[in-house]
Amino acid sequence: MERRLFLGALSATAKAADICGCALAPQAATAASEPFATVGSKIRITKLKVFGVSLTPTSDRPYVFVKLETNQPGLYGWGEGTLEGKAAAVMACVEDFKEFLIGADPMQVEHHWQAMYVHSFYRAGPVIGSAISGIDQALWDIRGKALGLPVYKLLGGPVDPRGVRGYYHLRARTKEDLPRLREEARRQGITCFKSGIPGYYEWIETNAKISRAVRSIADLREGLGDDIDIGIDFHAKTSPAVASILVKELEPLKLLFVEEPCPPENVKAMQRIARRSTTPIATGERLVAAYNCRELIEMGVVDIIQTDINHVGGITALWKAGALAEASGVAMAPHACEGPIGGLATVHVDAAMPNFLVQEICSGVEIGPQEKVWHEWLGFPAMRMVNGRFPLSDRPGLGFDLTEEALRKYPFGGTRPMARVYHDDHSVAAW
């Protein structure tokens, strides 16, 4: 009798699960593509590959590159999902998405984005977001190549035929370096730099420390002159109280923007800071999907959104974030501090956004070791500006080619933790 009751209870539980939808059987990617057979293309994804690439064995931000191959000879796409400090997790997540893609039509970019995001059930954080980003970029690369057009033309661009305005990071060790950098910027046509706020900050800071920070940024303005725009990245190192003081003190310097004056998830605090200053507020590099930008935009918290194509969800999500921002009079200045594939993909989206402001690249005026590797891989100086702008390629897709052999010289060194910094009392400091 007890056994019959037990089995009856199991049966009732199973039926309840069916009613609530908890027991739905997963569908294969090939089956999901069948309803589109008459309206889609004949191209099919046959293989997904993910590569971890460490330029140095101890790098805390190895590149994560994704390659999608198809049943059409020579037709494949590259994307990037680099996530600082979590490379192995992203690589594993990319592998998890194989079932969504193998056998599917790569031209259905939006359909695949929705499937990966929605069918993951738990809404994407940075790991899932970065995995989707790498896959999405590769899908767009295939789409452009199949149609014989660069991605920015598929998106309706270019808005500006001169290319995409950009900025380098300011790398000056002393005040005396600034006049030299200013002259080099003028020679190269560079109109903008970004620098950071010096030091680390407690919840409430001393007058001396705040004054030093203001003087440091004032020195940049004096050294670079009024004809070069300056963005200052607070990197969420400041509390709302400290940030409110600083943004007010910095108003006379007429900065292009102040970035991440507090963590972006603290929307109400950022709103309080924004109300206390006329300096434009920028944020967004840590946000995933266009949905996470909505509250910042609706509440009038920010002037500039900086979502990163390698984390936000790829070209599809960056484009949507830009459209959401444009409808509310908010500008776009995407973050890009990882590898060359994501950087080049971002330029395509920038070129088609009417509310685009300026594009970051975590490089300096002078070519560094990473840029030399990028040139070695791609055969051209990727993400280097010409007359202050990133040039637009007429090549289809994302406009480059890359071989797996080129990456083997830089094997994956494993995931490394990002920097860990502490205050004088050894409490954890934000950086």
pLDDT per residue as tens digits for the range 307-350: 999 999 999 999 999 999 999 999 999 999 999 999 999 999 99
pLDDT in tens, 221-240: 999 999 999 999 999 889 89
* CB atoms inside a 10 Å sphere around CB 414: 13
> Residue 199: pLDDT above 50?
yes
Class of the CATH-defined domain 152-395: alpha beta
What separation in angstroms does the CA of 120 have from each of 110, 112, 210, 429? Answer: 15, 12, 44, 33
How high is the mean pLDDT of the chain?
Answer: 90
Q: What's the confidence (pLDDT) of residue 331? A: 97
What's the one-letter identity of residue 311? H
Q: Annotated catalytic residue: which of 112, 311, 335, 348?
A: 335
- The 10 Å Cβ neighbour count of residue 246 is 24
Cα 284 from Cα 357, distance rounded (Å): 14
- pLDDT, position 23: 52
Q: Cβ distance 88 to 52 under 8 Å?
A: yes
Q: Model pTM?
A: 0.92
Tell me whether residue 235 is one of the annotated catalytic residues.
yes
**What residue ranges do the domains of the chain occupy?**
152-395
Helices (H), 29-173: 29-33, 87-96, 98-101, 109-118, 126-147, 151-154
Of 1, 173, 29, which Cα lies nearest the Cα of 97? Answer: 29
- Of 42, 25, 153, 3, the C-alpha closest to 11 is 3
**Do strands 359-360 and 331-332 pair parallel, antiparallel, or not at all (unpaired)?**
unpaired
Which of 21-25, 49-53, 159-163, 200-204 has the weakest average pLDDT? Answer: 21-25
Which listed residue (235, 348, 375, 426) is catalytic?
A: 235
